[in-house]
Amino acid sequence: MTLVAKVTASALAASAATSLNGSLSQVAADSLNGSMVHGRSLGSMELKVAAVGDAIPSGVHLTCFGPYVPPSGARSLRRLQPEVNMEIVHHMIMFAGKGSRSSRTLQRANSPMCDQGQIVYAWARTGQTTPIGLDFAEAAGDLGFAIGPGTSYEWFALQIHYQQLAPAPVHDSSGVHLYFGPTAPKKPLDVQLMASWRLRVPPLVKMDECVACRVAHGGVAVAWRNHAHRLARDIYSEHFDREGQPLPQLGFISAQQPQIFRLLPETRPLSTGDALLLHCNYDATAITDHITYLGADERTHEMCNQYLMATDGLRLACGTEALEVDNSVSAAFDAACTGLPAPSIGQITGLAFDDATNTLYAFHRSGNTFVSSALIQQPAILAFSLLGAITKKLSRNVFTVPHGLSIDHHGKLWATDVAQHRIFRIDPTRDVVELTLGAGRGRSATQFDKPTDVAVNAQTEEVFVADGYGNSRVAVYRYDGTYLREFGTVGNADGQFRVPHSIVIDKRGDVYVADRENSRVQVFYTNGTHKATWLSRVATGLERAVYARHVSSIAYHATLDLFVVTEGDGVVLRTPSGCDIAQVGGPLLWPHDALVLPLEAAKMPQGAQHSVAHAGATANRSALADGGVRVAVFVAELDGKRIKKFVSSSGERKFESSGGGYGRRLAEEIL
């Protein structure tokens, strides 16, 4: 005879409390004796994990119901079907856990069940008129959750996100109908969650929120679900193998499509050490007057989640690494600069690194400031070893107000002066200015208005000038200084700038501009067509420092395929898609420029030929590889008038667990 049982939440609530080690309630026991469900045998046991019919007051609430014990003899969860009041239920998350629990109901937002349990299922009403569930019978293989005594899932609880807008209370029994089987699945499932806890969407912008995760224990993904609210657009995860090589994206879909678990067309192996970068895109261009924060109310708040349902004990760990200061090397830079003749070192505005000789160049203003008019009589460019010793002094009586500094593939330095409105190409081996661009202040093929930085395309030898404070454009020249083209105007739309403050070109030829006052990096194809925007978190900052919302600089390391961006009083490491994977926490004293290098290269002596390239080639791994390549970051402080070094703490990223406690944290964050 087929085993059939239907145990509703209200029946469980009314029955005597039953522990996992005891018998089921009489209601459940009677059902096991062969009653029919909806007039037919389903060949499975059932349980509705749900609210219990109580009145739900007006407003936005998180309420946790449970724990509920599955029917005796149930060993697998095979199908889940939401049964909800679509008018008042926005979102549901079902938790499960191990240990002896009674079948009873708890109704408080911070219930221990939704605090301690692991997520097994989630659903939201977006894009549906009738709730869509999940049936593992539609997937290849013997899939399901292993449940019951001795498993990780011995009880269930349900957290319901109510968005009840009626003025009077509404009685509710929404929940999830669970269908069980009597045998354990051959491929037991777990759920892992990637989620942003720091989400803030400024008004009038489009932005991409990113969450960096590592596969701590491998598994095979069989289903996925994305979740966000009304401002969200496309959500997806980049997938990289343990060597940092890209694999197909995972879970790409608009957030306005039904936010349900979907079975993957083909299962996706996720190996230990793989990297996943979750991207949630938002369009807040219609929001004019407020920041949108993390929260449960889909009308006024946002979220950024991707759930993966997988076999074989998949475990993810998510977060960003915090780089640690190298005090000894930072002190060595300080000591070297203190020994300079008065007025010693001034505001440090730019850094450049020659990987052929392992030399770090620093551009500084000596005793001058942004409004000075006299030439700097001291050397404005200082060459350092990476251990902090000064090895050369360049460019006396050349500059008035130094700004940007870069080095090209020929080993030539490019420097900008915002007072002279000029660009200089310098041979550092001879301390000779080879080329000067800029014939007075203006906007033309031969004039600039406070130019800020230069980048040279190694393949085309085109010179890209960020011009700058006055013109808000990028002007492009041949290597000999012949004008070619320009792009950009003042503003905050795509392709517009409010102080293009720094510029760099990656190995694909894409152009990256630190758009300072717009708190973002803009990415362009080499012809000037806009490609992407990385909005910084400092765009929503409340700090009062003049540079608090600045995105001041961007630099790139080709072997690492990694960017370092100065944002507010901190520094962030970003991937080519803009995902922040590590950071130097503030407060720094107006960080104005930064460099990122492989850590081993940063330890090599000055003069070691092609040492950095060799170090990167020896590792033969990108920064996204398992363990990555440990990095060193050098930061120039404008107000601090110093160079500070930061390093990876170890080869392992410092990730937070994506495991239990989600219900508690969600309640803490959004209520």
Domains of the chain, residue spans? 46-185, 190-337, 400-601+628-651+665-669
Question: Which pLDDT does position 622 carry in this prediction?
Answer: 74
**What pTM did the predictor assign?**
0.88
Q: Please report which confidence band the pLDDT of residue 7 belongs to, taking 50, 70 and 90 as the band edges.
A: very low
Question: Which pLDDT does position 629 carry in this prediction?
Answer: 72
**What are the tens digits of pLDDT across the range 579-592?**
999 998 768 999 99
Percentage of residues of the chain with pLDDT beyond 70: 85
**What are the tens digits of pLDDT across the range 418-453?**
999 999 999 999 999 999 999 999 999 999 999 999
Q: Please report which confidence band the pLDDT of residue 255 belongs to, taking 50, 70 and 90 as the band edges.
A: very high
d(CA 599, CA 590): 24
CA angle 396, 400, 401 (to 5 degrees): 120
Question: Which pLDDT does position 607 carry in this prediction?
Answer: 56
E strand or H helix that includes residue 333: helix 327-338
What is the bridge-based pairing of β-strands 187-195 and 76-83?
unpaired
For residue 15, report the phi and psi dihedrals to the nearest 5 degrees.
-75, 165
E strand or H helix that includes residue 662: helix 662-670
**What are the tens digits of pLDDT across the range 277-316?**
999 999 999 999 999 999 888 999 999 999 999 998 999 9
Q: Is the pLDDT of residue 532 over 80?
A: yes
Region of poorest pLDDT, from 199-208, 600-609, 643-652: 600-609
Question: Which pLDDT does position 340 carry in this prediction?
Answer: 85
d(CA 558, CA 560): 5
Q: Please report which confidence band the pLDDT of residue 650 belongs to, taking 50, 70 and 90 as the band edges.
A: low
**What are the tens digits of pLDDT across the range 23-76?**
223 223 333 332 222 222 334 488 888 888 889 999 988 888 888 999 989 999
Q: Is the pLDDT of residue 209 over 90?
A: yes
Count of Cβ atoms closer than 10 Å to residue 246 Cβ? 14
d(CA 615, CA 605): 13
d(CA 125, CA 102): 30
Residue type present at position 92:
M
Residues 537-553, mean pLDDT to the nearest whole number: 88
d(CA 127, CA 91): 12
Question: Which pLDDT does position 543 carry in this prediction?
Answer: 72
Residues 363-373, mean pLDDT to the nearest whole number: 97
Quick one: 443 exposed, middle or buried, by C-beta within 10 A (0-12, 13-18, 19+)? middle
**What are the tens digits of pLDDT across the range 320-334?**
888 999 999 999 999
180 or 601: which leads in pLDDT: 180
**What are the tens digits of pLDDT across the range 553-566?**
999 999 999 999 99
Q: Please report which confidence band the pLDDT of residue 667 belongs to, taking 50, 70 and 90 as the band edges.
A: low
Q: In CATH terms, is domain 190-337 a member of 2.60.120.230? A: yes
- Give the count of alpha carbons within 13 A of 3, CB side only: 16
620 or 415: which leads in pLDDT: 415
46-185: CATH topology: Jelly Rolls (2.60.120)
Question: Which pLDDT does position 62 carry in this prediction?
Answer: 87
Q: Is the pLDDT of residue 670 over 90?
A: no
- Strands of 45-197 (E only): list them: 45-50, 55-56, 59-68, 76-83, 89-97, 118-124, 134-135, 143-146, 155-164, 170-171, 175-181, 187-195
**Can 46-185 and 400-601+628-651+665-669 be said to share one CATH topology?**
no
Question: Which pLDDT does position 614 carry in this prediction?
Answer: 44
Average pLDDT, the chain: 86
Question: Which pLDDT does position 53 carry in this prediction?
Answer: 84
Question: Which pLDDT does position 321 carry in this prediction?
Answer: 85
Residue 282, classed as helix, strand or coil, is strand
Question: Which pLDDT does position 665 carry in this prediction?
Answer: 62
Query: Largest alpha-carbon pair distance within the chain?
Result: 98
**What are the tens digits of pLDDT across the range 129-179?**
999 999 999 988 899 999 999 999 999 999 999 999 999 999 999 999 999
Q: Which CATH superfamily is domain 400-601+628-651+665-669 in?
A: TolB, C-terminal domain (2.120.10.30)
d(CA 237, CA 253): 10
What is the bridge-based pairing of β-strands 200-201 and 262-270?
unpaired
